[in-house]
Amino acid sequence: MRSARQPAVGKSRAQHSAAPLLAAMDLLGQRWMLRVIWELEPGPLGFLELRRRMGNCSSSMLSVRMQRLQEAGVVVKKPDKSYELTEAGTELGQALEPLWQWSQRWGADLEGAAGDA
């Protein structure tokens, strides 16, 4: 008989209830994804301007990330070739606001802790 503190053998809680959250975390956990959303949140940008704002993200990596975000329905490429957030992407950008506020309070304590990952 297992104690109340031991988890049941088999599927985790996340496997039962959080498949959409896990999918979002898998997408957004890829390097540069959240940065793209952050940069596009104020409004559309062309690829070159977005690339300039992304710092040391290579053009080829940014291209791959933009394709993946388009496939996920978070970003759309407009006829003028600029990129903008979809409704889902805009909502995601707004969801980053509390994280930004948290970082303003605690971010100095984190500087250097993440490395260049």
- State residue 37's pLDDT score: 95
Structure tokens at 8: 């049941």
Interacting residues of 30 by C-beta distance below 8 A, sequence separation 6+: 65, 68
- State residue 106's pLDDT score: 87
Phi-psi region of 13 (alpha: psi -120 to 50; beta: other; left: phi over 0): alpha
- 74, 85 in Cβ contact below 8 A? yes
- What is the Rg, in whole angstroms, of the alpha carbon atoms belonging to the chain? 18
pTM of the model: 0.75
What does the alpha-carbon distance between residue 61 and residue 59 come to, in Å, rounded to a whole number? 5
Query: Mean pLDDT by 10-residue block, N- to C-terminus, for the chain (117 residues)?
Result: 50 67 88 95 96 95 97 96 97 90 86 62
Provide DSSP, 5-68. Answer: TSPPSSS-HHHHH-HHHHHHHHHHTSTTHHHHHHHHTTS-EEHHHHHHHTTT--HHHHHHHHHH
- State residue 23's pLDDT score: 87
- State residue 24's pLDDT score: 87
- State residue 10's pLDDT score: 61
